[in-house]
Structure 1
Amino acid sequence: MMRFLETRIPAPFVAIAIAVGMWCLPREQAMTDVAESLRLATIDLSMNLSAVVALAAFLTFWRARTTINPLQPERASVLVTHGIYRFTRNPMYLSLLLLLVAYASHLGSWVAFAGPTAYVAYITRFQILPEERVLAAKFGDEFAAYRRRVRRWI
């Protein structure tokens, strides 16, 4: 029914749209029960981890000399299973999720965490599942074994 959205909107645009939505959410559910130092540590850790994960993912794809374009997964020339891809099948999407977690923490409202949740749901349904179908068709048993070995997110 909604297949027309599959692999159509780049994940960074989805993350930006969700971040705007998070900013618009009411802030009545302030995180008053969380110490400011813990909230700031969460922001710092999430942002730094996001940068490390994204850089590792880009470098691994660059070294493998395969496409990084998620809108055209059929152009993948090799199944990347090493580097950061040994720990997560989707580190680039994970890095954006970590940024949204940092932003939700920055906003200081529990309601803002609906944003990262919506991001996971949207990206899984409209980006990851279609990519996995293509990779399964293209790389067969090799992708099936990789899927069994490595989790989708973390």
Structure 2
Amino acid sequence: MKRSSAAAGSSLFFAAAPCVVAGVVPWAITGWEGSPGWMGWRVVGAVVTACAAAVLVHAFARFVREGIGTPAPVAPTRHLVVGGLYRWVRNPMYIAVVACVLGQAGIFGSDALLVYGAALMVVFFSFVRLYEEPTLARQFGAEYAAYRRAVPGWFPRARPAAVPPRTS
């Protein structure tokens, strides 16, 4: 896969997955209306949502630049993505999607979005454990095993892990 094809595929997947899960569904739940009890929640929620969106864009770009592929299981990367934010935590995309939803819960004062965010975390964790980790272990073998030992899945490291030079 060429980088241009990876960029196009990643853009389509971005619109189909995170934009729907963290945009369309929260809109369907809240109608972008709500009333948090404290105005500060709107500010905190907006900051969390904006930061999470930036993390998503960064993570998708890493898949194109470094992995030469997409996050979509139907068009996986050629290389294991271990740079950028992936040096701190293995699952920044999933964390960012949940953070977007929780940020919107703050903006709109929505308990329903809090429940939705918690449900997403359960779904994402299960998907990673049951599908993604075994698939990456098969695809990248020892490289993924070393990465998995060095970088936590869900709670970021205090300092970034060293990224070994690519051998292929």
How far has the Cα of 1:111 moved from its partner?
A: 4.5
Q: Report sequence identity in percent.
A: 29
Gaps of 5+ in 2: 1-15, 156-168
Structure 2 partner of 1:19: 26
Deviations 1:100-128 (A, max 9, x none): 01111122134431111111111222356
Gaps of 5+ in 1: 1-9
Question: Paired residue for 1:61, among 60, 63, 68?
Answer: 63
Structure 1 partner of 2:153: 152
Cα distance in 2 for residues equivalent to 1:45 and 1:101:
11
1:36 aligns with 2:43: no
Q: Normalization by structure 1: what TM-score? A: 0.73
Structure 1 partner of 2:160: none
Structure 1 partner of 2:3: none
**Residue type of the partner of 2:61?**
L
How far has the Cα of 1:20 moved from its partner?
A: 5.4
How far has the Cα of 1:98 moved from its partner?
A: 1.6
Contact kept? 2:63, 2:81, Cα under 8 Å: yes
Aligned residues: 137
Cα distance in 2 for residues equivalent to 1:11 and 1:150:
25
Q: CA RMSD in A?
A: 2.6
How far has the Cα of 1:65 moved from its partner?
A: 4.5
Cα distance in 1 for residues equivalent to 2:127 and 2:23:
16
Q: Normalization by structure 2: what TM-score? A: 0.67
Cα distance in 2 for residues equivalent to 1:65 and 1:138:
13
**Residue type of the partner of 2:30?**
W
Higher relative contact order (CA 8 A, sep 6+): 1
- 5 Å-filtered alignment, 1:42-53, equals 42-53=44-55
